[in-house]
Structure 1
Amino acid sequence: MLGACSNGLSSSGTDKGGKETITFINHKTDWTGNGKWKEYTKEFNQKYPNINVKVETITDYAGQMKIRMNSKDYGDVFMLPDTVKPQDFKNFVEPLGKQAELEKKYMALSNKSYNGTTYGIPIAVNTTGILVNMKVFKDAGINEFPKTPEEFVTALNTIKKKNPDVTPLYTNYASNWAMANWDFVRTGASGDADITNKMTTDKEPFAKGKTMNTIYKVLFDAVKNGDTEADPSTTDWEQSKQDLADGKIGAMVLGSWAIEQVQALAKNPDDIQFVAFPMTAEDGNQYAAIGPDYNIAINVHSQHKKAAREFLDWFINDSNYYKDTGAISAVKGKDYPAALNSMKEAGVKFIEANPAPKGKESLFSDINNEAEIGLDTTDATKQRIVDAAKGNTKESFNHIMDDLNKKWGNAVKNVTGK
């Protein structure tokens, strides 16, 4: 689904009055409908009156952009999908500057930097965990959110028994993007800032007792117990937000960027809370990793790079995007949103994943692509787990984990030669 709004011309170009029009492609379809993007372009024009911004939004953003980026037609400014390999950034994206210099002002740049050059800046910094309607939990007699996988799975089952009309955990199986959040929680769930780097040498990261196995087992058990939606293939992302707000859904594994969207739909916004994934690290603490949302970038083929850079800089430095989405600003020194302060009060510690060692920036991506597991990038493996738990396939959980270990182990060997 596409949406668009603009404050002038219909496509990138320059009019007779010398005004340039740039196209900004992004994933925030809800802001097309509620008029938020029109507010932003109007604010931008107060500072840059000679630049028109055509905003184009896409629902299946990562999937559609992967197709569009086979051509040069993917806007002037866009959100850089994770499907682009770091070593390929230069083929698609205009460099923004040296990472070391930009890191003096911005955080979380390592994700879209390569060989010391930064190609994208996070539109916001989020944490990944679980977005919950705590009223659903409290109505089932669960007053404190669980801190272990076992407690969480039990709580979901308790909710279902107390109120069969409620879906305790919603997977968003059919969205083709949301289930990647089950991968994103690994740094916080483990409390290990180096877990992703360690996976580049670990040939069995999905073995029993390891973080990824534990995370995926929560998903499998919840589905197996009947505590997720009846038909995963018919899930609806937009409707799920309203259902969570209304107490028809108890929890969804998501990024903190979704807090504001669901709270805006709720009769009592305080019912909607964001919590850490229910795992406790070896040191006894609960952690939530902070990391970049989409990174805003400039098309290397753009004919309007100066105007595109002015919009990008305004968006990161001057707009209220992080406040409007309940996120953390990528600009260092700005306040955390109230929703995440509540996590701090609950004793949750925030950590940021360590960047890959110099010269190995693409190693994880290379192994992941070689393994064809889609960790962080696709929903395929998570959907496979749901299908098995539903009984739609004959695979067992252990069989899937063994297969993932085999694929990952072979990929590590093929890519590193070790």
Structure 2
Amino acid sequence: MKKKLLGTMAVAIGFSLVLSACGSKSGSSDNSSDGKETITFINHKTDWTSNGKWDEYIKEFNQKYPDINVKVETITDYAGQMKIRMNSKDYGDVFMLPDTVKPQDFNKFVEPIGKQNELEEKYMGLSNKSYEGITYGLPIAINATGLLVNKKLFEEAGIKEFPKTPEEFISALKTIKKKNPDVIPLYTNYASNWAMANWDFVRVGASGNPDITNEMTSDKAPFAEGKTMNTIYKLLYDVTKEGLTEKDPSTTDWEQSKQDLADGKIAVMVLGSWAIQQVQELAEDPEDIAFETFPMTAEDGKQYITVAPDYNIAINVNSEHKEAARKFVEWFINDSNYAKDTGAISAVKGKYYPDALKSMQDTGVEFIEANPAPEGKESLFSDIVNASEIGLDTTDKTKQRIVDAAKGNTNESFDDIMDDLNKKWSNAIDEVTK
């Protein structure tokens, strides 16, 4: 099986952002009272507003572009609020393109960046925000999805090698629980309504198959026993049923969970690598916090970890300051230290890999990125997801359902849930492809 591995793409290339002729030029250039052009940048990083990080970034940007003011606006419920705001033209000049926008609708909301095949010579992770060969947003960073771990708890429990199978993983969590009954072996973050989607995001790495998502668009039973999604969800069910998660999932607290993982009160959370640095900064010893691949081994005997884009930065098609907005996008992607400052992989090929992920490569884990959808089918998977209403990749809905069943809060069995998911998925394929 041909695999699209990031390691083979890490080639240092000097460049500047290609501003393709397919993008229109700026409209009117209204200036602010100080004679400078002003653009608004809307994003999800609310913590960077409170800690002054965005002020630092804009100061650095102005060293290169002193004639452009950047007004930064951050939103806590970013995807939800932007979905509402994008019903109007008032969603900034530069913004993070939400996943709620369908690929076929990109051109209604977003200024094109350039041709995908040209930009792919310089950037990773363009597939999900490109349509019909045109790229509409550039990844602010590339993240791995796996397990954020307090490795000190594993070491204290005598676990020297991180588990590679679901069975080994459950055994390890039981050992940790026996060693310290007060520790929560795996924290689900059930109440967040976003964190549990990471259980879906691990599927490419767990399977070792970069085409698994594309294959699901024609597989009418992707949740059947023996298939990757079933195995992933069964692990969540079994860990919960064994009492290895928090007692009351409805009371989980995302912000507190980071501190508890740092303090050794939680052993594992399924998350993106973007969270590594956040938790390390809270830990007495940052070396206690590590990142591991999902405990599954591919058919070829290797372990892989999913890597995919974070939010993609984009330009509002309605902006009256497109030229200034493009300069900011160019600077943000090429010149800022966003990937390094957030513990992520740079979307610029060969630019930056965080230490926590480099060490994972040293153990033989290979990074794997999902292959793009075939031409003309860019929106097929998202259309099926929306039609199925099971919340795959988008919400915690199905994962919460699994936890509820494992806790005994409902009368459903695991097999009942998987049968229902297959039925809904199959019906959605028929509906979308008829």
* C-alpha distance after superposition, 1:162-197 (max 9, x if no partner): 212111111111111111111100000000010001
Moved over 3 A (4+): none
| SS at structure 1 position matched to 2:153 | helix
- Which of these residues, 317, 327, 331, is aligned with residue 334 of structure 2? 317
- For the Cα contact (< 8 Å) 2:340–2:352, is it kept in 1? no
Matched, 1:409 2:409: no
The residue type equivalent to 1:316 in the other structure is I
Q: 1:356 to 1:239 in 2, by over 3 A?
A: same
2:384 counterpart of 1:400:
no
Greater shift, 200-209 or 169-178, is seen at 169-178
Q: Deviations over 1:252-279 (max 9, x none)?
A: 1111111111111111111110110000
Equivalent in the alignment of 2:199: 182
Larger RCO (CA under 8 A, 6+ residues apart): 2
Look up the equivalent residue of 1:124 and give its one-letter code.
A
1:281 aligned residue (294, 298, 306): 298
Change (3 A) 1:14 1:386: farther
CA contact (8 A) 2:42 2:75 kept: yes
2:399 to 382, 387, 391: 382
Q: Which residue identity does 1:187 align to in structure 2?
A: V
The answer for unaligned runs of 5 or more in structure 1 is 1-11
The aligned counterpart of 2:270 is 253
Matched, 1:269 2:286: yes
2:345 equivalent in structure 1 = 328
Aligned ranges 1:168-247 → 2 under 5 Å: 168-247=185-264
- Aligned residue runs from structure 1 range 14-163, under 5 A: 14-163=31-180
What amino acid is the match of 2:267? Answer: G
Q: Superposed, which structure 2 residues align to 1:339-354 within 5 Å? A: 339-354=356-371
Counterpart amino acid of residue 93 in structure 1: V
Deviations 1:92-131 (A, max 9, x none): 2111111112112111101100011101100011111001
Per-residue Cα deviation, 1:341-372 (whole angstroms, up to 9, x for no partner): 11111110111111011111111111111111
Cα deviations by residue, 1:365-416 (Å, 9 ceiling, x for unpaired): 1111111112111111111111211222221111111000000011112222
What is the rounded CA distance, in whole Å, between the counterparts of 1:151 and 1:21 in structure 2? 55
Question: For the residues of structure 2 that align with 1:20 and 1:392, how far apart are their CA atoms?
Answer: 57
2:10 maps to: none
CA deviation profile, 1:63-116 (whole Å, cap 9, x unmatched): 222222222222221111112111111112111111112112111101100011
Give the aligned partner of residue 4 of structure 1.
none
- Structure 2 counterpart of 1:8: none
1:212-256 deviations in Å (ceiling 9; x for gaps): 011111111111122112222222111111111111111111111
Alignment check: 8 A CA contact 1:80 1:295 kept: yes
Contact 1:13-1:22 within 8 A present in 2 as well: no
Whole-angstrom distance in 2 between the partners of 1:40 and 1:260: 18
* Aligned-CA RMSD value: 1.4
Q: CA deviation at 1:59?
A: 2.4
Contact residue 242 and residue 266 of structure 1 kept, 8 A: yes
Calculate the TM-score normalised by the size of structure 1.
0.94
SS state at 2:274 partner:
helix
- Identity fraction in percent: 79
How many equivalent residue pairs? Answer: 406
How far apart, in 1, do the equivalents of 2:159 and 2:81 lie?
Answer: 41
CA offset digits 1:21-54 (Å, max 9, x no partner): 2221222222122211111111111111122222
Displacement of 1:13 in angstroms is 6.5
- 8 Å CA contact 2:339–2:352 kept in 1: the answer is no
Secondary structure in 2 matching 1:135: helix
**Secondary structure of 1:183 counterpart:** helix
> Could you tell me the TM-score, scaled by structure 2's length?
0.91
